[in-house]
Amino acid sequence: MTRRILLLVALTVTLGLGSAPAGALSEERWTDATPYGVFFNDYDPNFYTGFVPRVQDRRRIKVHLARGNQLRIRMVLPDETLDHYLLDQVAKHDLYQEVIDKEVITLTSNTAWEDYHARFEAEGLREKASRKGSLSPEKWRALNVEVIDKLNPERLYRIRKDFRTLASDWQKLLSTSAPPEDLEAKLDLVNALFPRRIFAYKLSEEQEAAFAELISLAGAGDSAAFAGKAEAFFHDVTEGIYEIRDGKIDYYEYTAIYPAGTYDTTTRYKDRQIPAITTQGIWLFQPRLYGTGMVGMVDYISAAGYYGLIPMFPYEYAGGSSYNSIHNTGISNWIAGHKLLPKEWKSYTEGSRTGKAYNRVALTSRGPVSHGCTRLNSGHLAELRELLPSTSADMEGVVNYRNVSYCYDVFDRRGDGNVEIMGVQYYIAFRHTNQRVAKQIWAQNNRKDFYDWLYGDEMNYGPVGQVTFDDVCEGKFVGKKAVEGRRWKGLKLYEAPYQPETLQFYKIKGVKSLSHQGMDFNRELRRVGYGYSVDRATLLLD
């Protein structure tokens, strides 16, 4: 446990927040037999067997953690991602095929590779990629968009706005608003220029001056001068990630939502205990300089097997060799004889390479569970790595927004003005022992019981798509501090489908998995993407 976390615990006890009463936890067995997580046998290296796009520009990637214990990744897709998607999918598939065919690796535990290969062939991705030379640029891009959408349902959104209308509405807002007296008031007005798409949390001196001039022009009614300066300010404050063509903003956005485990403590809100979010505010992905694996990089792989041999993403140095990071489940459970897991999981064999039941299952808790980090399911962490830039250097500085514990992720995912609370269809939350074995559950793993625990009387329960909330706050950020934002009434909960986890386990011929050579191999196999040349020597191919 880090010094920072110890201070937080002391503060919560002083304020009477503390942990949930013992009666909130149970050692009963989960009754819903729906399989979640990753079933496997041994801690082996693994590669991702899904079809998400990669973005190489960290400015276009934002991470949000909020009330409800879910992590949302939003990516503004550049032209390069759209133009290279099919080519990247073929390159990734063929690299996997090559290391398998040349017996550089031996597949273990499961048959995710075979499932992935079958889907690759069924979708005709190689044939579609071969059309690049025969299609116009517009038709080629449309084909890539079509395939991304089909292979990643409920994740790709086309956002279209008339910037002239945005600027005109903003001018009216600035002219009728009271002069902002502090940074929070300024940021509220700045972010209103492109609602739910600008998440500014600071302003440089130059931006402050430009904003003051815009307020003056708005008050004077000088629309012509205002429009041009508003566009320049927009590009500056958004780091140029939104192009304006012929007065229009028109781009594709990719949104993924994953269940997340947070620090193992609760906080009191409206007379009930809710999961606490620690390390609140703005945190940037940073290289890990200390640890048990190879250091000096963002995509650090721990030498502790229970971290799943998957890169983790540090965002806070915590003293000694410790970092708070986004990492995998942090535990796995031996299935046979486990007192909490559904009995049916003992005989689960789907995708087993041997046809026999698996030994272990790795699944995260969507609730208080960690020692200070943020935990994702192993398959989701591998998928997140696939979304991010190929190199460690290009991942440095990815912005990680972390709400105050009781404020929701309120977002307009379609860009059509329909504001919703973000959530996900995953109903497992537990605590584990010091030996990293799940021991107590926070709630039964059915949707109703789980939501009663997670949301309580803040929620009006109903079918998927019909859960509403009478009165909630959204999170916002001032400087690097998380604060309570606007309050909303009557919002619906968007419940993103649980994304199946696609990982293939393997061993490297003649190489120890946790050696530096093994870690380099593991890392390099995940880096296929436009603009990056794979190091074939590291992959033992040259």
DSSP, residue by residue, 29-48: PP------SEEESS---EEE
- For 120-159, the pLDDT digits (tens) are 999 999 999 999 999 999 999 999 999 999 999 999 999 9
Percent of the chain whose predicted confidence (pLDDT) is above 70? 96
The number of angstroms, rounded, from the C-alpha of 115 to the middle of its chain's C-alpha atoms is 24
- pLDDT at site 23: 40
> What Rg value do the Cα atoms of the chain yield, rounded?
24
Q: Residue 463: pLDDT band by 50, 70, 90 thresholds?
A: very high
CB of 357 closer than 8 Å to CB of 348? yes
Given a cut of 90, whether residue 435 has pLDDT beyond it is no
Return d(Cα 142, Cα 158) in angstroms, integer.
12
Q: How confident is the model at residue 16 (pLDDT cuts 50, 70, 90)?
A: very low
pTM: 0.94
Residue 65 clears pLDDT 80, i.e. is over it? yes
pLDDT digits (tens, 9 = 90+) for 240-296: 999 999 999 999 999 999 999 999 999 999 989 999 999 999 999 999 999 988 999
Please write the tens of the pLDDT for every residue from 76-102: 999 999 999 999 999 999 999 999 999
Distance of alpha carbon 21 from alpha carbon 43, whole angstroms: 35
**Joined tokens for residue 33:** 């037999």
Q: Indicate if the pLDDT at residue 512 is higher than 50.
A: yes
Mean pLDDT score, 40-49? 97
Task: Give the model's pLDDT for residue 13.
Answer: 30
| Predicted pLDDT of residue 7 | 35
pLDDT at 403 exceeding the cut of 60: yes
Q: What are phi and psi of 48, to 5 degrees?
A: -80, 135
- CA-CA distance, 17 to 132, in Å (whole number)? 59
- Going by C-alpha positions, the residue among 335, 358, 382 that lies closest to residue 42 is 358
Supply the mean pLDDT for the chain.
94
What is the per-residue pLDDT for 24? 75
